[in-house]
């Protein structure tokens, strides 16, 4: 085949068909549209910066999550480092935390004088000791330890509600404070301060003046000698739940439930709900305090 270019005949070898096709295609393209091999880019080359950014964000998020979890775990372990379990009737429970503040945020625990110490297992009635003026004595320098008898101050007999500000009840186990409750002592008597209406604050998480009670009094349920009794409900022994009770004398006429007669333990028993919440008594979900201490603070 021959073509004419500027009047000159030129012979072109058509045997190389691939070259010929490329020549014809290129001849019909605009210069800017012609493909130059050196300028070809793959998807990776065009988007590598974006891909690097995405990968960096994913790795950064993962590292942040791992570090946050590590610090959280460390904080949890540190916060529970001093919580040693103690044995109750059916398992191990943690010590209660007993930091108590009023609604205004002020600390309750200041300026108190001990007036009564009750000890478990000495075979003496706690309620009788509180009421019995012949047992009175000076216990202003008493240590937080138990003896073979309850200790009582004559200040109980000279109770003056016009001078008393607060009454504090503390339960101890293994020399550690387990429960703390504060009552309004203003205008009270030595027998009526332990009531729901006078409760100011306490270390339980689930005990307030608005809680449900079937008993909240010093006398409690006298038919079974459950005194200093803060209880939510009855409903058969298996359903008895409450926060605190003194199972007082060995010669009670009626002992209906398992927690009224603990094997191998002498009366009285001082039972309370561990872990800052009410006890489920007949299921064994309670702790036994070694000692109950009652103190007062005065106005002025």
Residues 78-94 as b or e (16 or more Cβ within 10 Å = b): eeeeeeeeeebbeeebe
The average confidence (pLDDT) of the chain is 77
Residue 85, pLDDT > 60, answer: no
Same domain, 34 and 150: no
79 is a domain residue: no
Tokens of 241: 């739940």
Same domain, 181 and 95: yes
C-alpha to C-alpha distance for 25 and 44, rounded to whole angstroms:
29
- How many structural domains is the chain composed of? 2
Same domain, 267 and 205: yes
273 is a domain residue: yes
27-84 pLDDT tens trace: 454 444 444 444 555 665 667 677 777 777 777 777 676 565 554 444 433 333 332 3
Cβ contacts of 153 within 8 Å, gap of 6 or more: 114, 115, 116, 136, 137, 138, 139, 140
Look-up: residue for tokens 């012949």?
134
C-alpha to C-alpha distance for 225 and 254, rounded to whole angstroms:
8
Look at strands 287-289 and 269-272 and give their pairing: antiparallel
Residue 130: pLDDT band with limits 50, 70, 90: very high
Same domain, 153 and 15: no
Is the distance from CB of 244 to CB of 171 less than 8 angstroms? Answer: yes
175 is a domain residue: yes
Residue 102: pLDDT band with limits 50, 70, 90: very low
Residue 184 forms beta bridges with which residues?
A: 166
Same domain, 274 and 134: yes
Residue 298 forms beta bridges with which residues?
A: 164
196 DSSP 8-state letter: T
Distances (CA, A) of 150 to 171, 173, 181, 272, 292: 14, 16, 20, 19, 10
The verdict on pTM exceeding 0.75 is no
57 is a domain residue: no
Residue 17, pLDDT > 70, answer: no
138 is a domain residue: yes
Show the domain range for 96.
Answer: 87-298
Share of the chain above pLDDT 70, in %: 64
Same domain, 7 and 144: no
C-alpha to C-alpha distance for 185 and 159, rounded to whole angstroms:
10
């Amino acid at each position: 085949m021959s073509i004419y270019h500027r009047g000159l005949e030129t012979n072109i070898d058509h045997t190389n068909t691939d070259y010929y096709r490329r020549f014809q295609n290129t001849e019909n393209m605009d210069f800017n549209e012609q493909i130059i091999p050196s300028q070809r880019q793959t998807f990776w080359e065009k988007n590598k910066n974006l891909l690097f950014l995405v990968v960096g964000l994913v790795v950064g998020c993962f590292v942040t999550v791992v570090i946050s979890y590590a610090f959280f775990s460390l904080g949890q372990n540190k916060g529970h480092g001093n919580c040693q379990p103690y044995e109750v009737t059916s398992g191990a429970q943690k010590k209660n935390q007993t930091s108590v503040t009023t609604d205004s945020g002020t600390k309750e625990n200041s300026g108190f004088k001990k007036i009564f110490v009750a000890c478990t297992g000495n075979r003496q009635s706690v309620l009788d000791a509180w009421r019995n003026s012949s047992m009175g004595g000076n216990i202003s320098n008493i240590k937080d330890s138990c003896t073979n008898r309850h200790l009582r101050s004559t200040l109980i007999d000279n109770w003056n509600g016009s001078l008393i500000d607060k009454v504090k009840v503390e339960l101890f186990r293994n020399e550690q404070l387990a429960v703390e409750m504060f009552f309004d002592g203003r205008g009270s008597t030595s027998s009526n301060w332990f009531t729901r209406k006078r409760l100011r604050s306490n270390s339980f998480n689930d005990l307030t003046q608005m809680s449900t009670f079937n008993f909240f009094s010093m006398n409690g349920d006298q038919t079974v000698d459950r005194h200093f009794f803060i209880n939510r409900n009855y409903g058969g022994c298996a359903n008895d739940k409450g926060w605190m009770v003194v199972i007082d004398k060995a010669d009670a006429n009626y002992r209906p439930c398992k927690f009224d007669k603990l094997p191998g333990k002498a009366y009285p028993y001082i039972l309370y709900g561990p872990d800052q919440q009410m006890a489920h008594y007949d299921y064994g979900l309670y702790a036994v305090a070694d000692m109950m201490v009652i103190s007062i603070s005065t106005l002025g």
